[in-house]
Amino acid sequence: MAKTYSYMLPLGKEAPNFILPDTVSGEVISLSNIKGTKGTLIIFMCNHCPYVLHLLDKIIEISIEIKELGINTVGISSNDVVNYPEDHPKLMKKLAEDRDFSFPYLYDETQSAAISYEAACTPDFYLFDSDLKLVYRGKFDDARPKNEEPITGKDLMIAAKNLIMGIPQNRDQTPSLGCNIKWKKGNEPSGFFS
């Protein structure tokens, strides 16, 4: 597990499209048919990451809360399942069903979605407005495995509420921190990890 900070894609960037299979429904889902009326939260995550697991209950809770406000959530796992079999789509489906995910959990087998979003870690959070322009990328809150900070999702929730209310976002955003994306050999992006 390598501690990795999110790359912090430029604010205002348009969300790259994706067409990926949902591990629960088996349907192929594109960004255009899953986006929310007010916004879309895309989370790069995986099954085995302790940072994801530490926050998962609150992520699920917040995804339900913001869906009622018109912000849809999408989870994407891009990890190499040959070397990290616990992130296999069958186990993604099991986790999503066991934890009653309120959002699709997509499998990015080619890692093209992670590359296009310049995702660096799990979890990596991207909040887009109704025009699919990036308004927030950064941490969920201050909670980490092995620290005593409460799990609140406050940083993400402030951004979501600002989006709904039309309040300008704080441009001083703090990167997310988690495990590095498990890249397939030859897919390791160069130049955007910091």
Looking at the structure of the chain, the number of domains it has is: 1
36, part of any domain: yes
167, part of any domain: yes
* Runs of H (alpha helix) within 31-111: 31-34, 50-67, 89-98
Tens digit of each residue's pLDDT (9 = 90 or more) over 21-59: 999 999 999 999 999 999 999 999 999 999 999 999 999
**Mean pLDDT score of the chain, rounded to an integer?**
93
185, part of any domain: no
Asked if the model's pLDDT at residue 194 lies above 50, the reply is no
**Which CA distances in Å does 165 have to 40, 135, 158, 159?**
15, 13, 10, 10
64, part of any domain: yes
* Residue 193 pLDDT class (50, 70, 90 cuts): very low
Q: Domain limits at 86? A: 3-180
193, part of any domain: no
28, part of any domain: yes
What is the CATH classification number for the domain harbouring 114?
A: 3.40.30.10
Tokens 């407005």 — which residue? 129
23, part of any domain: yes
User: Has this prediction a pTM greater than 0.75?
Assistant: yes
